[in-house]
Amino acid sequence: MVFSGAAFLFYFLPLALALNALAPGRWKNAALFLCSLVFYAWGEPVYVLLLLFSSVADYLCGLLAESQRGRTGAKWALGLSLFVNLSLLGAFKYAGLFVSSFNTLTGLQLPVPQLRLPIGISFYTFQTMSYTIDVYRGRVRAQRDFIAFAAFVSMFPQLVAGPIVRYSDIENSLLDRRATLRDYSDGAWRFTVGLSKKLLLANAAGQAFENIRQTAFSDLGAAAAWLGIVCFFFQIYFDFSGYSDMAVGLGRMLGFTFPENFDHPYASTSVTEFWRRWHMSLSAWFRDYVYIPLGGNRKGLKRQILNLLITWLLTGLWHGAGWNFALWGLYYFAFLALEKLWLGKRLQRAPRAVGWAYTLLVTLVGWTLFAFDSAREGGQYLLRMFAGAPLLSGGFLYRFRSLWPLLPLMALAASPLPARLWGMCAKRMGEKAAGALRLLAMAALLLLSIASVASGGYDPFLYFRF
């Protein structure tokens, strides 16, 4: 949400929340839809029409799929919805990759499309596809109120960075919702925590990684390379989980309960567990709409491995239009398959520290493939980490001295320990004292976040490309 400008954010959110609170019940969806269009138009004025087109197409396909259930027309409606959504993704996200790859393979010089990626297109197309699939399967009723459906598609808290919210998650809230004082209190706290993760932790880690990344590979020592990828390891977690926290908090203040998207993934003791804790809404989407329809684990081990391969290749490409992302997906497929075939049971018998160290190493190497724009750059960086580079370079000690106070803080913040300690303290203090302490903490975090924005420092939006 910071992508749209800090000043806009601080003006827009209070107005949007006030409008939602003041709107009568039957006008709340219209108010939410209007706010969402304004929010999206601030960042992507041209592609508002694309968002509206997607909403209209899937709204009509949902109505047709329900009215024709059990007949051929329902399949045509579902097929049309999938065609529209996948065509949008193909045209705006993957056309350049496929044309440039075709040119490389054939030696032709076809013009490579240079379309700008619409913000959040991967999120809202997946949401609308899940809606039409669920209507076709009879799991949800088609929404007949277009404004309510469009509010679901364009909902500004999670439009640009997730979590992926299915229609069934919020169907009842679209019909009738109200936010209590407790909802506003808990939602504001969750939003503030997410904002702080993004501005105070993710940006600091990202700036450190960017400084190391800009070092010529020939001058990059192994220790500095490892330090850089540790910084990216924290950056991507606090960036994405921070945005998810902000979305969940804003949703709570608007009267919605969005699904959780992260559950301390860096505490995992296997890659399988990691993907149950990281970007949980995406993992669940691919499980329910790709892996299980392909047959899941119901058709024998060989078919299960094939289904995993397809699912993780698509998962990698979902994250970005580059073959390094496909390689990243295949990398995780290899470890997930290995754990299913052999390693998983051994990790369960091993000490937790062994499983955690193994998962940490796999994740760090995986983020190296993810962090760079091409597989070639990622491969060169991996070489500096593992071979062909001196251990220490001239700038390592300077970088480490500037980062060492921050790294333990980020490690602590990424662990389950703070939440556990807060739960214990709140129980001992009592509800009123805990509430007052949380209010003070929220004020302090907001002031620090505002100061960070005012400083005009490093502030990228990692998930813009998704």
Neighbours of 287 (CB within 10 A): 14
Residue 396's alpha-carbon distances to 123, 233, 361, in angstroms, are 39, 18, 21
> Is 372:352 a contact under the CB 8 Å cutoff?
no
DSSP H helical segments within 44-180, as ranges?
Answer: 48-67, 72-89, 95-106, 121-137, 146-154, 167-175
How far does CA 354 lie from the centroid of its chain? 28
How far does CA 306 lie from the centroid of its chain? 25
Distance CA 389, CA 409 (A): 29
Residue 179's alpha-carbon distances to 187, 250, 438, in angstroms, are 10, 11, 20
Let me know the angle formed at the C-alpha of 51 by 237 and 254, rounded to the nearest 5 degrees: 60
DSSP H helical segments within 322-374, as ranges?
Answer: 323-338, 344-349, 352-371
Task: 349-357: list long-range contacts, CB under 8 Å, 24+ apart.
Answer: 352/269, 355/269, 355/270, 356/267, 356/268, 356/269
The two structure tokens encoding residue 287: 């499980």
Let me know the angle formed at the C-alpha of 45 by 121 and 16, rounded to the nearest 5 degrees: 85
The two structure tokens encoding residue 344: 């998983």
| Catalytic annotation, residues | 319
> Is 77:68 a contact under the CB 8 Å cutoff?
yes
DSSP string, 276-303: HHSSHHHHHHHIIIIITTTTTTSS-HHH
Residues 6+ apart with CB under 8 A from 220: 212, 381, 384, 389, 393
